[in-house]
Structure 1
Amino acid sequence: MTVLIVGGDKVDKIKNYLKQEIGATKVKHVTGRKERSMKLPADLDLVIIMTDFINHNLCKNLKCQAKNNM
């Protein structure tokens, strides 16, 4: 399982939880502070968006991409 975490500054505990308890094999992290857009990788199983620490335009962009990939 591949997980992308967008937002947040210190996500080590979340990364460890996803790997140990959920069984994620890859956990990627993007802070989302300065990015306005990004392309979601095709191999994702789960996207976690931490909205308190993310550029709002990026959040909207990722939400639209995720809906289109369903």
Structure 2
Amino acid sequence: MSSYLALQGKFTQGEIGEQEYNMQRDYFRNELSGMIRRLDEARKLMMIMAQLESRSPSPNVQPGQPVNRPQPTS
């Protein structure tokens, strides 16, 4: 975001031309759109995981017993 603001400052002060400004602005716009898309995908996955965790545990687990989850491997 700060790079985008710096770009606007350079354009306003005449340090870069309109064509260069437009190219870099479009680059930043595409990068931000991609970041927003990835954040939205992560949010959706987290919502799905929360829904799965809130469902009742499997029948062989007694209420009040902790559910053993496999540890992630490196």
TM over 0.5: no
Higher normalized contact order (CA 8 Å, seq sep 6+, divided by chain length): 1
Bigger-Rg structure (1/2): 2
- Superposition TM-score, scaled by structure 2 size: 0.25
- Superposition TM-score, scaled by structure 1 size: 0.26
User: Higher strand share goes to which structure?
Assistant: 1
User: Higher helix share goes to which structure?
Assistant: 2
